Amino acid sequence: MSIIGDQIKKYRIEKEITQEQLGQMLNVTTQAVSRWERGGTPDADMLPQIAEVLGVSIDALFGLEEQSMNLNLARRLSQMSREEAYRHAFNICWAIEIGLLGNVSAIDDFMKPHIERKMVSHDKKTDYLAKMVNDGGIALVRMSPDLNTFFLMPEPEGRISDQLCSIDELLEVFSIFADRKMLQLIYIMYSMPNIPLATSLLSKKTGISQQETDSLMEVLCEKNLATRSVVVTAEGELNSYILRRECAAIPLLCFADEITKENIRPFLGNYDRTKPFL
């Protein structure tokens, strides 16, 4: 099947019209439409008419529209300030969430209020969730006046559990965040500028002894959450630590917060998943 024939069939089905109906709209035979969709190629001078009838661009008939859209989006974001780019990107994420709902009427119901900033209450204690959970993957949005997050996971070819580390390895990570002193250190380090912090400073801010602070920070280093460096001073060697810049802990903390809170309101969702999660 040619790319154009594949695209014609795709958009014809999306518009819920038959080959015969499309042929009538284009003043060609049903056999001609069938021939295109089986691998033939329409005459070049017919492409504008086909695109107009199907309600798409000529680029879309060549399978290039998505590529062009992605390139244009990347260029647009790159030209914005960082703050503006992140805001715009989240608006796109919300559009993705609504699109994945698979309900055209929902676009008007949920896109316009979001654009007009009427989607969430100004009560800072109120958060809202939108969740798409189906066999195509998982898409989760959290919206609030102060904290917006987006998670998108297309369905992997195998089971999700096949892609994860063992339960014992994951348990080691969760045990770090379940330890109060460890979590204190993580909070302090993320609240400071992105510079190495001496053991003495961490100890002072957390109330943990310097010896225990070093021991706990070594665990964070072993688990790839932090790195250690040694500074030689007139008084001897001094340990300092810095969190890894990937910030993997932040999404984990945000999702833990979502699980913990009782006032988060799921207001939009699609839960028709038939596959197991893990």
3-state DSSP of 83-144: HHHHHHHHHHHHHHHHHHCCCHHHHHHHHHHHHCCCCCCCCCCCEEEEEEEECCEEEEEEEC
164 φ, ψ (degrees, to nearest 5):
-95, 160
**Tokens encoding 62:** 């060549």
> How does pLDDT run along the chain (278 residues), one tens digit per residue?
578 888 899 889 888 899 999 999 999 999 999 999 888 889 888 999 998 999 888 888 887 767 777 888 888 899 999 999 998 999 889 888 888 887 777 777 776 666 555 555 555 566 778 889 999 999 999 887 778 899 999 998 888 899 999 999 999 999 999 999 999 999 999 988 788 999 999 999 999 999 999 999 999 999 889 999 998 877 788 899 998 877 788 999 999 988 888 766 767 888 889 988 88
* pTM: predicted TM-score of the whole model, two decimal places: 0.70
d(CA 50, CA 8): 8
Q: 194 near 242, Cβ under 8 Å?
A: yes
d(CA 239, CA 261): 37
DSSP conformational letter for 275: S
Angle between helices 167-178 and 249-260 (to 10 degrees): 80
DSSP conformational letter for 151: E
Strands 127-134 and 264-271: parallel
Angle between helices 199-206 and 180-191 (to 10 degrees): 110
* pLDDT value of residue 202: 95
- In terms of Cα–Cα distance, which of 20, 24, 28 is closest to 46? 28
Neighbouring CB atoms inside 10 A of 225's CB total 22
CA distances from 128 to 1, 5, 114, 122, 142 (A): 45, 43, 12, 12, 6
